[in-house]
Amino acid sequence: MAVTDVADRLYGITFRPQELALYGERVQFDLRYAAMFDDPSEVTERHFSLLVLEITAEIPADEGLARNGGRMQLLKCGWELERRADPAQQVDTLPEAPGDVARLLERIAATVNDLAGRAGLGAPLGPEVITSLLHQYRTGASR
């Protein structure tokens, strides 16, 4: 079976750069990677996967942005990967290729860091954060 990458592209983004800068010491990361499909029995040449990075922070009730306290979503960014399989395969059967998650996470980081820079803020997703997220993803740990 031959599998080739066709494209990777931004799937969607919600970002609060000022709040991320303000609450950066309280953040929690959630990184998820999964196949996307409607019918699990479908056999196709085109396969799609999605990497989503979500950053949230717990905000105490006495701080202005969260009226009653609670969790605030500071970032949710998804990057899609399209691959082609020859011959056609059932969806959700292509194995994760080495480097897929790292490459997509780098795309997310570049997008987020660019937007933060446009907002006059520093890059929140530096190399150390990326390395840590990849390690946590590979070991199944959460941060």
121: its two tokens? 């803020």
3-state secondary structure of 7: strand
DSSP 109: H
Q: Which two tokens stand for residue 24?
A: 């950066």
**pLDDT tens, position by position, 19-61:** 999 998 899 999 999 999 999 999 999 999 999 999 999 987 7
Q: What's the pLDDT at 69?
A: 64
Would you call 142 helix, strand, or coil by DSSP? coil
Is the sign of the CA dihedral 110, 112, 114, 116 positive or negative?
negative
Task: Write down the pTM of the prediction.
Answer: 0.90
Run of H or E residues at 55: strand 43-59
